[in-house]
Amino acid sequence: MTVKAAVAGATGYAGGELLRLLLAHPDVEIGALTAASSAGTSLGAHQPHLGPLADRLVQKTTAATLTGHDVVFLALPHGHSGGIAAELGRNTLVIDLGADHRLKNSSDWEQWYGNEHAGTWPYGLPELPGGRERLRGATRIAVPGCFPTGGSLALAPAIASGLVKPEVTIVSITGTSGAGRSLKPHLLGSEVMGSASAYGVGGAHRHTPEFVQNLSAVADGPVTVSFTPVLAPMPRGILTTASAPLSGETGLDAVRSVYDKAYGDEPFVSLLPEGVWPTTAATVGSNMVHLQVGVDSSAGRLVVVSAIDNLTKGTAGGAVQSMNIALGLPETAGLPMTGVAP
Active-site annotation holder among 32, 146, 155, 232: 146
Quote the radius of gyration of the chain (alpha carbons, Å).
Answer: 19
Cβ(337)–Cβ(268) under 8 Å? Answer: yes
Q: What are phi and psi of 295, to 5 degrees?
A: -115, 120
- Which residues, listed in sequence order, are joined to residue 294 by a DSSP beta bridge? 303
Q: Determine the Cα–Cα distance for residues 333 and 316; give it in Å rounded to an integer.
A: 13
d(CA 63, CA 76): 13
Active-site residue flag, 32: no
Length of the chain: 342
Edge-first strand listing for the sheet containing 28-35:
59-60, 28-35, 3-8, 71-74, 93-96, 140-142
Bond prior to 336 in cis (omega within 30° of 0): no
Active site residues: 146
